Structure 1
Amino acid sequence: MSTRFDAIVIGSGQAGPPLAGRLTAAGMSVALVERHRFGGTCVNTGCIPTKTLVASARVARMARRAAEYGVVLDGPVRVDMARVKARKDAVSGRSRTNVERWLRGMTGCTVFQGHARFESADTIRVGDDRLTAGRIFINVGGRAAVPDLPGVDRIRPLTSGTILDLDTLPRHLVVVGGSYIGLEFAQMYRRFGSEVTVVERGPRLIPREDPDVSDGIRDILEREGVSIRLSAECIRFAPQGDGVAVAVDCTAGAPEVAGSHVLLAVGRRPNTDDLALDRAGVVTDARGYITVDDQLRTSVPGIWALGDCNGRGAFTHTAYNDFEIVAANILDGDPRRVTDRIPAYALYVDPPLGRVGLTNEEVRRSGRRALTGMRPMTRVGRAVEKGEEQGFMKITVDADTQEILGAAILGPGGDEAIHAVLATMQAKAPYPTLQRSVHIHPTVSELIPTLLGELRPLT
């Protein structure tokens, strides 16, 4: 059967459903295709389930620290992983159901469940259905990468998706990859009660961050008992009893780690390899990401790519912003662009890291004359009151233009407090505008104006 629509949306991740909503509200007929679970990565294997687990892990951590706050608990703290998983599944499941209900009840939207493959630049096939449209929007997301490391075919490694199926506690979880995803799982499973070792090829954790941020996060994790193995140049695997031997060949420490489970957290890849994009003429790069311009148009007129599959962002908020950019250009006559957005994200270790704009290393490489301010959380009243004094906050500005260039807040509420800086940067306001604002006391945010009053040359 062949059916013509005004638009086809492939994928129900963060960009697809709201775009379908805007297009149908504009009077268009829309086909939305989803081959697996509604809601995409965020709802099913990303933000919502992982942050639900982070919340459970934080409760376990605080329960163990109860005596520090004068709270007496009888008996040792015990984590029931089956109940932790059930809570995570319930939260994620409600979100997934809500997305599907929204789409199926959307006037003008027809939902197709199955695998979409291109037949031409305006036609896709989903099972026995042949769908055509003058506009096609690809929102297929990505998945965890499984690198071809020596011995990986001899074990059954976990990924950021499959680890969510565990309802028992690993005895010793070895996390391969010392970046954002791996560190979140490392801390949460240590708090649940597992022994945890992080294995990272590089000389420090999260190498895209400044060294002081990497060191601060390492300190947080090691204080909680997470083992960190850096400079692991020769990672390989072998079965060992009922577990796994992970050879790390680090410059220091034992050359092998014996674990019960291995989590591979070494990046992601786009879900573009089985869409038959070549039949439509859609160009991808060497890693499989769909090549797009500043308004998310692909190499083929009438086809756009949004979200993780375009390589222009790897977050739920950037995927949603992709929807906003496409809708603004198509429906509102508003020429919004990807390069207009300011990079911002968070790392959800606890306490979290909030980041916006350039790192200090990037500022140095730019050759700008810059000023920077830094304050440890030991000098932030809100952090002291909460008994969460690890971390720091820093901000960097252009000494000549007074433009805010970037900031990092590693500490309680860092993921929220960073938005004061982000909003000021988006408004293109000079830093004295933020410096002169009166923030609520006691908060972490109230120290941002103080930082701006203590700026020193960035060396």
Structure 2
Amino acid sequence: MKDAKKQSFDAIIIGSGQAGNPLAFALAGQNLKVALIEKGRFGGTCVNTGCTPTKAYVASARRAWELKNASDLGIPNPKLEKIDLRKVKERKDKIVAGSHDGLVDSLRKEKLITTFQAKGFFLDQTTVQAGSAILTVPKIFINVGTRPRIPEGFENVNFLTNESLLELEEIPYHLLIVGGSYIGLEFAQIFRRLGSKVTIIEMSDRLISKEDPSISERIREILESEGIKVLCNSHCLEGKNNPDGGVRVLMNCGGEQKQASGSHLLLATGRQSNMDLVNPESAGLAIDKKGFVEVNDHLETNVKGIYALGDCNGKGAFTHTSYHDFEILQNQLFGDKSKKVSDRILNYALYTDPPLGRVGMTLSQAKNSGKEILYAEMEMSQINRAREKGETKGKMEVIVDSKTEQILGAAVLGVGGDEIIGLFITAIYGKLSYKTLMNSVQTHPTVSELIPTLLQQLKPIKANS
């Protein structure tokens, strides 16, 4: 390998994710010679095993739920045959293939981008090996993402991850899910609606513990109303294969030894950085205690000329934050250098049904911020549009800084929450007074038209002592 001829490029990108791909085209657009390295499928997690396929499953599950509950809206229930997971998977695969194949075709057409289907790793600060090729460059961009974290006690049990679960062709009879956070909850509802029995096993005292308790409780109520079993405070977890097939999870629930048995097991216990796969020590890269590569506000690592984008830098865990990383680097390399990570306002959605849209601070965070805050909430059951749709579960809430009048945070758990949250995101980025939104005239009949009414109900709330 030492005798391999080095190939020179202007830039190397390790990882073909939602930040790496647009960066490759942007660099090529500046007449730079680019090497794009990908050990898996081009497109990264979002296209192949994340957002695109899972939201396709969410849509299929939603359609099944609508058919099952049609009588609630005065429509006689049609006979719902047993769902064919192969058909659901075929639809998903077709959508994924369209995105993947379109990207690959675009990469092939760009003469200044050379792709390497191989594992890429550092040999030194300017040299990367990709398969048998040795590449040398002045600038290197890391976009290697994350992978499912497998907790201790489950190494020798038959388990599924968010990736392998999407490849099943038969609906699990009873799906056990270890992990009651975003990925686990979405899959719990998907497979319950497709026909599985589902049990969620969570170590914390509540689901999605990063959210405020009131939101966590609402989401648990929604899931349990659909027949999903939830076991919180489940500690000392260990997985075992059953002799006659299936799996079981042993747990210590409040000092009492318990177990749950199922046909399949999904591990949804978070994700870990893929930085350990690229030999970061050879480049002298600083890695934090969680395994993420450390970057500054402009996404440069501690080594000049090496940058990190997307989930592997620990600055975000979403497609939209990854793409914003690309925009930051594009601005730093070819623009006015004004964009930076610290300007980004956290926002995301949980794609249960109804979905949760979230931006900025939670109520707990606001209480601990030392700011004087105003707070209001409104039940979805108070909103005509939600009643008309027959989907009244959830609530809206908003937090305001009483001195600046700017919105600090908001949550919309309810029908359309993933889209409606965009109004609050825009208001926060625009540094608008909440009164501007409160005095706006929104379209009737919508859920959004009640946002001005929500803001009219703001009241002071005491900070935590």
TM-score by length of 2: 0.96
List aligned pairs for 1:215-364, cutoff 5 A: 215-240=217-242, 241-251=244-254, 255-364=258-367
Q: Per-residue displacement from partner, 1:192-227 (whole Å, max 9, x unpaired)?
A: 111100011011110100011001100110000000
CA displacement at 1:73 relative to structure 2: 4.0
Secondary structure, counterpart of 1:333 in structure 2: coil
SS at match of 2:31: coil
Q: How many residue pairs were aligned?
A: 457
Cα displacement (A) at 1:107: 3.5
How do 1:37-76 residues align onto structure 2 when only pairs under 5 Å count?
A: 37-76=41-80
Secondary structure in structure 1 of the residue aligned to 2:391: coil
Which residue of 2 is the match for residue 378 of structure 1? 381
Give the Cα–Cα distance (whole angstroms) in 2 for the partners of residues 451 and 174 of structure 1.
39
Matched residue type, 2:369: S
Q: Distance in 2 between matches of 1:76 and 1:181?
A: 27
Q: Residue 153 of structure 1: CA displacement? A: 3.2
Using the alignment, how far apart are the partners of 1:298 and 1:198 within structure 2? 38
* 2:38 corresponds to: 34
Taking the TM superposition and a 5 Å limit, the aligned residue runs for 1:389-408 are 389-408=392-411
Question: Of residues 157, 160, 164 in structure 2, which corresponds to 1:158?
Answer: 160
Distance 1:397 1:181 in 2: 30
1:88 aligned onto 2:92? yes
Cα distance in 1, alignment partners of residues 215 and 257 from structure 2: 26
Give the drift of 1:246.
Answer: 1.3
* Structure 2 unaligned blocks of 5 or more: none
Q: Separation in 1 of the partners of 2:257 and 2:291?
A: 37
What SS is found at the alignment partner of 1:274? Answer: helix
Q: Is the 8 A contact 2:119 2:131 kept in 1?
A: yes
Contact 2:250 2:257 in 1 (8 A): no
1-structure distance, mates of 2:314, 2:155:
28
Between 1:411-420 and 1:61-70, the stretch displaced more is 61-70
**What is the root-mean-square deviation of aligned Cα atoms in Å?**
1.3
Which residue number in structure 2 is paired with residue 181 of structure 1? 183
Q: Deviations for 1:301-354, whole angstroms, at most 9, x for unmatched residues?
A: 000000011011000000000000011011112221101010000000001000
AA aligned opposite 1:398: D
C-alpha distance in structure 2 between counterparts of 1:71 and 1:254, whole Å: 46
Matched residue SS, 2:278 = coil
Question: 1:307·1:319 contact (CA, 8 Å) conserved in 2?
Answer: yes
8 Å Cα contact 1:351/1:414 also seen in 2: yes
8 Å CA contact retained: 2:158, 2:241: no
Of the three residues 64, 78, 89, the one matched with 2:82 is: 78
The worse-fitting range, judged by mean Cα deviation, of 22-31 and 54-63 is 22-31
| 1:392 Cα deviation from its structure 2 partner | 0.4
User: How far apart are 1:78 and its partner, in Å?
Assistant: 2.5
1:177 offset after TM fit, Å?
0.5
SS in 1 for 2:253: coil
Counterpart amino acid of residue 191 in structure 1: R
Report the Cα offset of residue 397 of structure 1: 0.1
For residues 329 and 257 of structure 2, the distance between their equivalents in structure 1, rounded to whole angstroms, comes to 52
Separation of aligned partners in 2, 1:387 and 1:269: 40
Deviations along 1:270-299, one digit per CA (max 9) or x if unpaired, are 111121111111111122211101111001
What is the CA-CA distance between 1:244 and the residue it aligns to?
Answer: 1.3
Partners in 2 of 1:253 and 1:146 — Cα distance?
A: 25
- Distance in 2 (alpha carbons) for counterparts of 1:76 and 1:5: 57
Contact 2:300–2:307 under 8 Å retained in 1: yes
Change (3 A) 1:184 1:254: farther
| Percent identical | 47
Show the counterpart of 1:118. Answer: 122
Q: Distance in 2 between matches of 1:154 and 1:124?
A: 34
Q: Is the 8 A contact 2:177 2:268 kept in 1?
A: yes
CA distance in structure 1 between the aligned counterparts of 2:291 and 2:254, rounded to whole angstroms: 34
Q: Which one of 90, 95, 109 corresponds to residue 105 of structure 1?
A: 109
8 Å CA contact retained: 2:233, 2:254: yes
Q: C-alpha separation between the residues in 1 aligned to 2:264 and 2:439? A: 51
What is the distance in 2 between the residues matched to 1:154 and 1:139?
Answer: 30
Gapped regions of structure 1 (runs ≥ 5): none
Q: Work out whether 1:20 is the aligned partner of 2:20.
A: no
Alignment correspondent of 1:143:
147
Q: Distance in 2 between matches of 1:272 and 1:238?
A: 30
Contact 1:63/1:77 (8 A) holds in 2: no
Which of the residues 200, 208, 221 maps onto 1:198? 200
Q: Give the secondary structure class of the aligned counterpart of 1:137.
A: strand
Contact 1:397 1:404 in 2 (8 A): yes
Please state how far the C-alpha of 1:74 moved relative to its aligned partner: 4.0
| Structure 1 CA distance for aligned equivalents of residues 265 and 415 of structure 2 | 30
Q: 1:294 to 1:412 in 2, by over 3 A?
A: same
- Could you tell me how far apart the structure 1 residues matched to 2:250 and 2:423 are? 44
